[in-house]
C-alpha cells in the first residue's frame, strides 16, 4: 500500500517542479522519470523510485488519477492542452469518443517516439479520465462492427495525416 503521505509528497514535488497547480498522469510520469534520471547513484535512484511511485502504480492503488490528485491535495487533473478534464461515465463511450482518444493517443505516441501498440495505448489511457480504456475501445469497435484496434488505428492515423496536409 502507498500511504497518503507518500502520494501527497510525490504529487506535490512533481507539480512544483513543473510549476503547475494540478497535473495529469502523463505529466507526472514524464517528470518523475526526469527526477529518477538525475539520481547520482543506484541507491539514490532506488530511494527516489520509492518516494515517487509510478503513475501506473498510484492508479492501481487509488483506482483513478482523479483520486490520486484528491489524496495528493492537488486540483483535478488537466489535459495536455491545459483544459480541465471532464469526468464521464466509463460506459458512455461511442465511436466518436474512441476516434478522439485515438487521435490524442497517436499524438502522444509521436511525442514519446513510440509505436501506438495496444500496450502503448493502455499506458496512454492510464489515469486519463474521460479516455476509454483499451477494453472499452475494443467493446465499442466490436459493437459498431468497425474492425480491430489495429484497423481502427490505421484509419484514424490516415485521417490525422490528411488533416496535417
104 pLDDT higher than 60: yes
Q: Distances in Å between the alpha carbon of 57 and those of 40, 53, 119, 126, 160?
A: 24, 6, 16, 10, 32
Do residue 42 and residue 94 come from a single domain?
Answer: no
Give the pTM: 0.51
Structural domain span for residue 57: 4-72
Domain total for the chain? 2
Domain annotation covers residue 79: no
Q: Mean per-residue pLDDT for 44-63? A: 88
Do residue 160 and residue 126 come from a single domain?
Answer: yes
Domain annotation covers residue 131: yes
Which positions ≥6 away from 70 have C-beta within 8 Å? none
Do residue 13 and residue 57 come from a single domain?
Answer: yes
Domain annotation covers residue 10: yes
128 pLDDT higher than 50: yes
Amino acid at each position: 500500500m502507498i500511504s497518503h503521505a507518500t502520494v501527497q509528497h510525490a504529487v506535490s514535488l512533481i507539480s512544483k517542479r513543473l510549476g503547475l497547480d494540478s497535473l495529469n498522469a502523463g505529466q507526472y510520469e514524464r517528470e518523475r522519470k526526469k527526477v529518477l534520471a538525475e539520481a547520482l547513484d543506484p541507491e539514490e535512484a532506488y530511494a527516489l523510485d520509492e518516494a515517487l511511485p509510478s503513475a501506473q502504480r498510484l492508479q492501481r492503488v487509488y483506482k483513478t488519477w482523479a483520486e490520486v490528485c484528491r489524496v495528493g491535495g492537488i486540483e483535478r487533473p488537466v489535459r495536455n492542452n491545459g483544459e480541465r478534464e471532464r469526468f464521464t461515465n466509463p460506459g458512455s463511450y461511442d465511436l466518436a469518443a474512441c476516434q478522439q482518444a485515438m487521435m490524442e493517443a497517436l499524438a502522444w505516441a509521436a511525442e514519446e517516439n513510440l509505436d501506438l501498440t495496444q500496450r502503448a495505448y493502455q499506458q496512454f489511457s492510464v489515469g486519463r479520465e474521460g479516455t476509454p480504456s483499451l477494453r472499452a475501445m475494443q467493446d465499442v469497435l466490436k459493437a459498431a462492427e468497425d474492425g480491430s484496434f489495429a484497423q481502427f488505428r490505421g484509419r484514424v492515423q490516415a485521417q490525422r495525416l490528411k488533416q496535417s496536409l
